[in-house]
Structure 1
């Protein structure tokens, strides 16, 4: 592997890791954050709505920022906002303010939206250079970040370390990682030339007019929503609906992230042997079955197994969909950007909507929406089969 490509890939591994670490750092403390700011389920949904607003803005702005300043600038800008979110959430907890905590999650969503679009575009280009799949491993680093964050979170919950101290410590680590790898992604990659802009403004069909891309969008929406629902609500569901302690809720989230990490790093073997469509269908069925038990079951041990099924089942949905969108001829960058946008909107914007449903009908009932969408993904999984140019 060329040295520059190697450094670029290493930086992408780190920059996928950082948002996962940050996400898990506050997700594992959501029951304590909720109590500190005095939020009900509906009010917590409003706090998470800050995440939704930030995410929508970040995702929708990312394409223009990449075109004007490049993927590296966009990723670093987004990661700086992710860093700021940790400090703001800590301030919200210290002040007991739902508004400040919501602003912290808005910063996280805004930063993650920009970062993830930029680094997924980078990852898709690296796949083209290497001529082999790598996005599932990059997303595996995001899951590794969530796993690491969940491990630390579980330990700090058990040690009764204040949430604000936890957030501050993670902020210092994140700042160091951002600075250390800031030069390893090409500076001008993704910037549009005058010719590119002329081609872009010329009349052409939308990528969504391609029925295959549309079906991939449906699949990624369902699978990303399942992942986002766990990231935002799993500890609270296990504490409020299944009677787990706060520490046990963090442990359950740890099991979920471990399953996600295992699925993403180990999934390449199954993709090579069985193909993307069969793996996607099997993942959807497995994940849907796990979520269904969380909804209808009550045995704590079986609920733990169901959470592992949930994690394994949703692990490959997002990266496989992105790789499939990038395969074949034509404007693969536009397809990857479109599918990534749908996926991140589902993962970051969808879960707060589940919170509003959960306030009126219970979080278990809200998760039925996710199960129904995953069933659709299983039925349409054939769309992720590779398409040649």
Structure 2
């Protein structure tokens, strides 16, 4: 692997680490923000809808932006929105303005949506060049960032540090990292020209819509939606689930989210060797079953300690779902960027419908029982996992038994 590829890959890892820190910093402070805004769980779901709406708008715009401008420009725009969004959230939380937090989350989510789809396209390109799994580690860096953010959030929650100042400092950190990362990215990854074979004129429609005619990709989209829903439910609600469902302190709620984030990180960094040995189908199927077992305990456990421990299974189980399905979506000789962007969009649908739907349902039956919706989706993902093992490009060593691995 030459120096340029190493810098490219390192830049992707660095930014995802910072993005994960930003996300977890927000999540760890949601109980404090909810209390500061003095709103119900249902209203908090509406506030979180800003993050979901922004994410969906961002991920929808990202594919066309990558095709028009390339990944580097798209990531730069996303990073700017992430920083601006965190600053607005900080101001809204400090002034106890729910509308301000909503708007800030919309900007933050939009930036993440724009940047993360572009990063997945970049990561899939690196994966194709070096012939080894990259996306699990890329998402592992995001999860490692969530561990850092959760630790910081837990510590600052314990000492009642102002949420506004906390998020402002995180925004400054992300801005510095983004500048460093963007400078190491190549120009034009994923960019299309008028003469490309998959242009709308020659293919019969925009690439991001045309690729959904592939039945296999459609089923992959269902899997990624289910697995992303499982991950997103914890990101949005786990601290509040522990606080409201098990009556623990806000610090204990943050500690539970830390356990989830740490298990996500472990699962993703261990994912490469597991994928090379067992293949995507078995890894995703076992992952979905593991997450389901963890969720069952969280839902029915009489003990907060047992429920907190079960979030480790939840995190391990959902850790590889999103990156592995994105990697499977990229198995195509011509439409890899469009397919990755399309499947990532399906994943973000979970983030769009999840927070408000779960919040409204929780107002009637509680957050613990509401998680049965997530459990049902994970069962569906396990049942459909077989479609991940038959792509058109190198998948994993275990899937193909014939693909050489370069360094």
Q: For this structure pair, what is the TM-score category when the shorter chain's length is used for normalisation?
A: over 0.9
Does the 8 Å contact 2:66/2:74 carry over to 1?
yes
**2:45 matched to which residue of 1?**
45
Q: C-alpha separation between the residues in 2 aligned to 1:243 and 1:286?
A: 26
Asked whether 1:345 is paired with 2:343, we answer no
Deviates further, 371-380 or 77-86: 77-86
| Cα pair distance change 1:109/1:41, threshold 3 Å | same
Cα offset, 1:204, TM superposition: 4.3
Q: C-alpha separation between the residues in 2 aligned to 1:133 and 1:280?
A: 15
**2:25 matched to which residue of 1?**
25
For residues 111-126 of structure 1, the aligned pairs below 5 Å read 111-126=111-126
| Cα pair distance change 1:265/1:191, threshold 3 Å | same
- Of 357, 366, 370, 1:366 maps to 370
Q: TM-score scaled to structure 2, two decimals?
A: 0.92
User: Per the alignment, in what secondary structure is the counterpart of residue 241 of structure 1?
Assistant: helix
For residues 151-162 of structure 1, the aligned pairs below 5 Å read 151-162=151-162
For residues 216-227 of structure 1, the aligned pairs below 5 Å read 216-227=220-231
Deviates further, 216-225 or 267-276: 267-276
| Cα pair distance change 1:284/1:305, threshold 3 Å | same
Asked whether 1:228 is paired with 2:219, we answer no
Cα offset, 1:155, TM superposition: 1.1
**1:319 matched to which residue of 2?**
323
Cα offset, 1:188, TM superposition: 2.5
Deviates further, 15-24 or 245-254: 15-24
**1:195 matched to which residue of 2?**
195
For residues 179-258 of structure 1, the aligned pairs below 5 Å read 179-196=179-196, 199-204=199-204, 206-258=210-262
Does the 8 Å contact 2:58/2:113 carry over to 1?
yes
Q: C-alpha separation between the residues in 1 aligned to 2:294 and 2:352?
A: 21
- Structure 1, unaligned stretches of length 5 or more? none
Which digits, 9 at most, give the CA deviation of each residue in 1:340-388, with x for residues without a partner?
A: 1111221354223211221222212221111001001111111111424
Asked whether 1:142 is paired with 2:142, we answer yes
**2:387 matched to which residue of 1?**
383
- Of 255, 279, 290, 1:275 maps to 279
Which digits, 9 at most, give the CA deviation of each residue in 1:50-79, with x for residues without a partner?
A: 112211211111112112221111111111
| Cα pair distance change 1:139/1:284, threshold 3 Å | same
- Structure 2, unaligned stretches of length 5 or more? 394-407
**1:7 matched to which residue of 2?**
7
Q: C-alpha separation between the residues in 2 aligned to 1:38 and 1:197?
A: 55
Q: C-alpha separation between the residues in 2 aligned to 1:314 and 1:261?
A: 10
Asked whether 1:301 is paired with 2:301, we answer no
Does the 8 Å contact 1:223/1:374 carry over to 2?
yes
**1:176 matched to which residue of 2?**
176
Which digits, 9 at most, give the CA deviation of each residue in 1:195-235, with x for residues without a partner?
A: 13873332448322222111111110000011011001000
Deviates further, 52-61 or 103-112: 52-61
CA RMSD after TM alignment:
1.5
Which digits, 9 at most, give the CA deviation of each residue in 1:283-329, with x for residues without a partner?
A: 00010111121112121221122100000000000011011111244
Q: C-alpha separation between the residues in 2 aligned to 1:129 and 1:338?
A: 21
In the comparison of the two structures, how many residue pairs are matched? 389
**1:97 matched to which residue of 2?**
97
Cα offset, 1:95, TM superposition: 1.0
Q: C-alpha separation between the residues in 2 aligned to 1:328 and 1:186?
A: 22
User: Per the alignment, in what secondary structure is the counterpart of residue 182 of structure 2?
Assistant: coil
Runs of 4+ in 1 over 6 A off after TM superposition: none
Q: C-alpha separation between the residues in 2 aligned to 1:323 and 1:189?
A: 16
Deviates further, 16-25 or 310-319: 16-25
For residues 59-74 of structure 1, the aligned pairs below 5 Å read 59-74=59-74
Deviates further, 347-356 or 365-374: 347-356
**1:310 matched to which residue of 2?**
314
Deviates further, 305-314 or 181-190: 181-190
Does the 8 Å contact 1:151/1:254 carry over to 2?
yes
Q: C-alpha separation between the residues in 2 aligned to 1:327 and 1:13?
A: 22
